[in-house]
């Protein structure tokens, strides 16, 4: 939704979650202890992270490509294996401090659509429009499940053929259960972390998208942007 809005406004896009996913991915690959705050912060400071718009991206594909030290790591950072590492490093104050300046550099004319759990409370507290987008745990887990399946990010999400359909169905059920549990764990970790906890800004507009399609959400947010004279 954020990428759609940025495209319609002709503004820049910041996917702040991608930054933490990069740090989580690097830490995972290098075997860095997730309790070693200084090493994680050093990783965040030294990582050369770049974004490029994906021209003609297919349905289900990421609207932007994420490059780490010159290598396209878009698929890697979106994999299910990076979910928990990203959430863990995001809870480290030193990492958030290291990435704060990076996020600020995205704020430039003609405007910015920033996607992230602390965009309206910490990173851009003076934003002209803040939307706290939420949905039930089941709805978000189901969307994540379908997203991973569409991207082919997890082999276990691809259903086998022939006589293995029944086992495949059980495997998909187990996969969904794991994703749901991971979503709940991430929410709890983000709500209770001491720095930049997950909560709506006092002046944010909350939209519960549980029963809404992405087109419905886009229409609602576009109406809010229009009311505030953004992009006009």
Determine contact, residues 113/9, Cβ cutoff 8 Å: yes
User: What pLDDT does residue 161 have?
Assistant: 54
Residues in a beta bridge with 207 = 133
Determine contact, residues 158/149, Cβ cutoff 8 Å: yes
Q: For residues 232 and 229, what is the distance between their CA atoms, to the nearest angstrom? A: 6
User: What pLDDT does residue 94 have?
Assistant: 95
User: What pLDDT does residue 63 have?
Assistant: 67
Which strand (E) or helix (H) includes residue 13? strand 12-15
Closest CA to 18 of 71, 56, 65: 65
User: What pLDDT does residue 221 have?
Assistant: 97
User: What pLDDT does residue 205 have?
Assistant: 97
Q: What angle do CA 166, 167, 168 make, to 5 degrees?
A: 90
Q: For residues 40 and 46, what is the distance between their CA atoms, to the nearest angstrom? A: 10
> In which residue ranges of the chain is pLDDT below 50?
57-60, 153-160
User: What pLDDT does residue 57 have?
Assistant: 46
pTM: 0.77
User: What pLDDT does residue 152 have?
Assistant: 61
User: What pLDDT does residue 232 have?
Assistant: 62
User: What pLDDT does residue 157 have?
Assistant: 44
Residue 12, classed as helix, strand or coil, is strand
């Amino acid at each position: 939704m954020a990428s759609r809005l940025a495209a319609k406004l002709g503004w820049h896009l910041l996917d702040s979650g991608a930054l933490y996913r990069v740090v989580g991915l690097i830490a995972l690959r290098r075997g860095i202890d997730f309790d070693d705050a200084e090493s994680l912060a050093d990783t965040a400071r030294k990582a050369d992270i770049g974004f490029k718009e994906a021209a003609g991206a297919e349905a289900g594909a990421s609207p932007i490509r994420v490059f780490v030290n010159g290598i396209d790591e878009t698929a890697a950072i979106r994999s299910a294996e990076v979910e928990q590492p990203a959430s863990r490093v995001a809870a480290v104050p030193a990492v958030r401090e290291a990435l704060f300046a990076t996020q600020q550099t995205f704020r430039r004319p003609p405007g910015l659509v920033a996607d992230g759990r602390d965009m309206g409370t910490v990173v851009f507290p003076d934003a002209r429009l803040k939307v706290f987008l939420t949905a039930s745990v089941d709805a978000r887990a189901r969307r994540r499940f379908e997203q991973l399946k569409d991207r082919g990010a997890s082999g276990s999400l691809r259903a086998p053929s022939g006589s293995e359909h029944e086992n495949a169905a059980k495997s998909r059920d187990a996969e969904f259960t794991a994703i749901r549990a991971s979503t709940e764990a991430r929410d709890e970790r983000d709500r209770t972390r001491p720095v930049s906890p997950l909560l709506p800004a006092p002046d944010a507009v909350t939209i519960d998208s549980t029963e809404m399609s992405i087109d419905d959400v886009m229409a609602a947010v576009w109406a809010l942007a229009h009311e505030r004279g953004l992009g006009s």
